[in-house]
Structure 1
Amino acid sequence: MDTSAYLSAVVEQTNTFADWVHGRDAAARVPTCPKWTLADLVDHVAATQRMVAMLVGERMTEPSRAFAGYVPAPTDSDQWRAWLTEGAAEAKQAFESVADDTPVWDPSGAAAGVPFWSRRLFGEVCVHRADAAAALGMRYELAPEPAVAAIEDWLDTMTSRGYWENKPDFADAMRGTGQTLHFHATDAPGEWLARREPDMVVLERTHTKADVAVRGPAAELLLVLSRRRPLEAASTLELHGDRALLDHWVGHMDWVTDP
């Protein structure tokens, strides 16, 4: 997917999310993010999209003003649909004003800028729509190709140099001596090998033997890797190898689970 396709998908996914949460109980708990209410979830999704729209639209190479520009979501859930759809539209418009090589700050350490944020917004809303589904009893569906793209975003961001350097607890937990985990989507092209090294997690897109392997439909693989569904509840996934290694990996994938 290119930047334009990602942003079109962000709008589509956000519109579905907005329809689900509109007018619902703001105090409803979000079981996949135990410290959050539905209001926290809506606020997080909308604030992130507006922050990125500012970063990209104003071509910021330093993020403090975008962080400081946080505007809370309305407390009245009857206003949520408009708030969310407007924010997604603003983000799409911001990306239309820049090129992929426009300098924009990003936290990955790779200076990926515009392409990083287009994919990040997509992965973000895909995962948080799963949170909304869990809170509201909705059925979560995501087509195989978009699900692969969301997995790519999740794994690439979590194994980035920037994430490693800015999350010392995560880095300490992920240090290894070459242990390998293989993730394989079976309904669309997508395979990843994560190798735990002393100073980083190396991510490769390849098919090879590993200490533990998980394979199955991309949407369900996304939910397990992002800690939105326990492996025991993911009946379509196959596990081969060291379950403890997988549990350790998933157990430390705690990004965006707290407000």
Structure 2
Amino acid sequence: MDTSAYLTAVVEQTRTLAEWVDNQDESAPVPTCPKWTLADLVDHVGATQRMVTMLVGGRMTDPSDAFAGYVPAPADSAEWRTWLNDGAAEAKQAFDSVTDDTPVWDPSGADAGVPFWSRRLFGEISVHRADAAAALGKDYELEPEHAAGAIEDWLDTMTSRGYWENKPDFAKAMRGDGQTLHFHTTDAAGEWLARREPDRVALEHSHTKADVAVRGPATDLLLVLSRRRPLAEAPQLEVLGERALFAHWIDHMDWTTDT
């Protein structure tokens, strides 16, 4: 997927989320994010999109101004639908105004801010829409190709140099001496090999023998990797090899649920 396709999908998925949360109970718990209410979830999604809009639209190489411009969600859930849709539309306009090589702050350390943030917004809404589905009893559906794209975002962000350097507890837990995990989507193109090294987790797109391999439908794999669905509730996923290694990996994939 390219930047334009990511943002089109962001607008579409945000529209679905906005319909789901319209006029809902602001205090409803979000079981996949135990510290959050539905109001927290809406606030996070919409405010994040607006901050990224400021970063990209303002061509910011220093993120402090965008973070200072945090815009909270309306307190009244009757206003959420419009607020969410407006934010997604503004984000798409911001990305339409730049090119992939426009200088924008990239927290991953790769110096490619526009592609990073387009994919990050897509990954955010894909996972957080699953949170809303869990909170409201909705069926969560995602095209396999989109689920594979969200897995790519999740894995690439979690294994980036910037994430490693800014999350010391994560880095400590993920240090290794070459242990490998292979992830493979069976209904869309997607293969990833993660190697736990002393100074990073190296991510490759390859098919090779690993200490543990996890394969199955892309949406199931996304929800398990992002800790939105327990492995025991994803019977279509096949785990081959050292299950304890995969369990350790999942135990530390807590970036979104703790925010």
Q: Which residue of 2 aligns with 1:222?
A: 222
Tell me by how many angstroms 1:257 deviates: 1.0
1:200-248 CA distance string (max 9 Å, x none): 0000001111111110000010000000000000011111111111011
Q: Which residue of 1 aligns with 2:196?
A: 196
1:132-181 CA distance string (max 9 Å, x none): 01111111110110010000000000000000000000000000000000
Tell me by how many angstroms 1:258 deviates: 2.8
- The 3-state SS of whatever aligns with 2:221 is helix
1:50-92 CA distance string (max 9 Å, x none): 0000000000000001000001100100100000000000000
Q: Which residue of 1 aligns with 2:135?
A: 135
CA distance in 2, matches of 1:137, 1:247: 27
Q: What amino acid is aligned across from residue 149 of structure 1 in structure 2?
A: G
Q: Runs of 4+ in structure 1 displaced over 3 angstroms?
A: none
- The 3-state SS of whatever aligns with 1:169 is helix
Tell me by how many angstroms 1:112 deviates: 1.2
CA distance in 1, matches of 2:87, 2:78: 16
CA distance in 1, matches of 2:222, 2:186: 12
- The 3-state SS of whatever aligns with 2:49 is helix
Counterpart mapping for 1:141-160 below 5 A = 141-160=141-160
TM-score, reference length from structure 1:
0.99
Tell me by how many angstroms 1:256 deviates: 1.7
CA distance in 2, matches of 1:106, 1:133: 30
- The 3-state SS of whatever aligns with 2:52 is helix
Q: Which residue of 2 aligns with 1:179?
A: 179
Q: Which residue of 2 aligns with 1:12?
A: 12
Q: Which residue of 2 aligns with 1:52?
A: 52
Q: Which residue of 2 aligns with 1:84?
A: 84
Over aligned residue pairs, what C-alpha RMSD do you find?
A: 0.6
CA distance in 2, matches of 1:96, 1:187: 31
CA distance in 2, matches of 1:249, 1:202: 14
- The 3-state SS of whatever aligns with 2:14 is helix
8 Å contact from structure 1 (residues 55, 105) kept in 2? yes
- The 3-state SS of whatever aligns with 1:177 is coil
CA distance in 2, matches of 1:207, 1:17: 35
CA distance in 2, matches of 1:16, 1:203: 32
Tell me by how many angstroms 1:106 deviates: 1.5
Q: What amino acid is aligned across from residue 81 of structure 2 in structure 1?
A: R
Q: Which residue of 1 aligns with 2:3?
A: 3
CA distance in 2, matches of 1:257, 1:151: 16
Q: What amino acid is aligned across from residue 210 of structure 1 in structure 2?
A: A
1:103-131 CA distance string (max 9 Å, x none): 00021011111000000000000000000
Q: Which residue of 1 aligns with 2:64?
A: 64
Q: Which residue of 2 aligns with 1:248?
A: 248
8 Å contact from structure 1 (residues 36, 258) kept in 2? no
Q: What amino acid is aligned across from residue 120 of structure 2 in structure 1?
A: R
CA distance in 2, matches of 1:257, 1:22: 23
Identity of aligned residues (%): 79
8 Å contact from structure 1 (residues 183, 214) kept in 2? yes
CA distance in 1, matches of 2:59, 2:103: 7
Paired residues, what number?
Answer: 259
Q: Which residue of 2 aligns with 1:41?
A: 41
Counterpart mapping for 1:12-31 below 5 A = 12-31=12-31
CA distance in 2, matches of 1:188, 1:202: 22
8 Å contact from structure 1 (residues 223, 229) kept in 2? yes
